[in-house]
Structure 1
Amino acid sequence: MNQRPSLTELTAFIQVVRHASFRAAADELGVSPSTLSHMMRALEERLGVRLFNRTTRSVAPTEAGTRLFQSLTPVLSELDLALHDVNRFRERPSGVLRINASEAAADLLVNRFVPVFLDRYPEMHVDVVTEGRLIDVVAEGFDAGVRLAESVPQDMVAVPLGGAVTFLAVASPAYLAAHGTPRTPDDLARHRCIRFRLPGGKLYRWEFEQHGQPLRVEVSGPLTLDHIRLMAEAAVKGVGIAYVTAGAAQPAIDRGLLVPVLSDWVPSFEGHCLYYPSHRLVPAGLRAFVDVVKELKTGAGRAPESSSASRTP
């Protein structure tokens, strides 16, 4: 190896592996795909090994590329944190704050916390990635994640964002007029339900509770979705009964487009938490965001990890 690779090349290499695409990585880095491809070929020549298997449709790391990615990721992550930490000596934090969140959690962030944070710290940029599956935020290059408290890994620092989250079973007035109103969860067996597919591929079993007794119901119906808001919209169209977060259903309920059913059976769950690694330096931007959350939040406390596979918001 004649010359040590530059930090720019190594950062670009990490992005190509993460995105498994030159085009997507180029968009992330703000360069052209051809420039990025040339950069990676130059890196391979400098290291003397092939890092990628390329086809016309895909790009994947070789064994050597995978080993390099696994070794570089924590090193570059710690370097980023060290540089971020220097921000605490600035009067105002600056840079990018990357947060991975579920769909419902992203709504909460954007509606309640992000506007205040950006108004207070105009040199910061917040990059929110909405994703159903629970990921390793450190390995995927995020500063923090947001999930229901029960889904937060135990080795993370968790900061509650607010109160409990309520789920509602809802249907349109037209659907209920045509098919009747279920009185108990068992009645759902005779109804058209809009099913929810979990990130891992399993179908979600609707969760109910009465007098402290939990009940899970496996429903059937003509439509399966993996997007909470689309489920609410489908219910508005009369497709069937949907089981969604109150936040997703409330606008349609307020307009009379949806009607809650089985209200006596629907439980509430511990609310969302912002979480981040406990064993690493906290970037100045994240520290400032946590301060804003603590200032604005209305609830407190966190639940222990339990059946995180059941709910994704």
Structure 2
Amino acid sequence: MLRRSFITAATLVGLIAAPLAAHAAETLRFAHYANPSDTAHKAAELFKTRVEELTGGELEVSLHPAGELGNSPTMLQGARLGTLDIVLVGNPYFTSFAPQVNLLDLPFLFQSADHAYAAMDGEVGEALMSSINKSNLQGLAFWEIGFRDLTNNTRPVVEPADVEGLKLRTTPNPAHIEAFRILGANPAPMPFAEVYSALQTGTIDGQENPVNHIYASKLHEVQKHLSLTSHAYTAAPLVMNFGRFSRLTEEQQAAVKTAALEAAAYERELNAEESATSLQAMKDAGVQVVETPNVEAFREAVAEQTRAAYVDQFGDELLIKIDALVGK
């Protein structure tokens, strides 16, 4: 009698547990490069909230900021292999397997943020995301790092000649590396997570990133000079492992894409708001700022040569489309 009761109870527990297990939330691991104070992490928090809301809790998102699960190349490789579900890294890290996206990093390609958004949110962005999707990834949306400015510990940078001889951390993007070589600098590509210590120890003289990103990452603590060159714009594609994405229901896939686009728009707003406050905060901290460097001289020095190298490899179709979007 006792045995029969035990079996009945066990059966009941099994019957109750089965539907609970069937409806247990799936967790998506989302890794990225940014510090928790950075706008990219704030956008990631919104993405998490919206995915969980839109799926009614069927999907949960765990956030892993600041290179917690590896540096940018490692995280991106993890997304391709499926050891990570969702990854956000700068556009240059896609160049090794989707070199066409190098287009977005060409120096002085975009005249304004609106110009960049018109390109990424339209046909150009679709074409570039398609090239990324060929490498076991599902592109979700173009987030951003933004327009890049130059910092260093050696001297103010006003003219192109002021860059000569500086050892500068750059992204691994070929256009970035070539541009600084043309200017006479010594470009030193390295993962972003290593930049602070490299500046602190003097391994490199400087680096280049958007103002709000520089401040959020505390690079101003180990840099004396900032020059507002806005020499390049860097996108940050938000991508997901293709196999993981394909196993989601159609409703869940739509929710993830919707959340990605909403968070991209939110990040853009935050970046616009925080650029001015970040600049003032760095001035207050003692960073010497060159607000009006000779941008035209920089453009004349590097833009044509770096564009020519891209056209030789990929043609000028997308470049023509980007140029046609000026002012639209």
- Structure (1/2) with the larger helix percentage: 2
TM-score range, shorter chain: 0.3 to 0.5
Q: TM-score w.r.t. structure 2 length?
A: 0.43
Q: TM-score w.r.t. structure 1 length?
A: 0.44
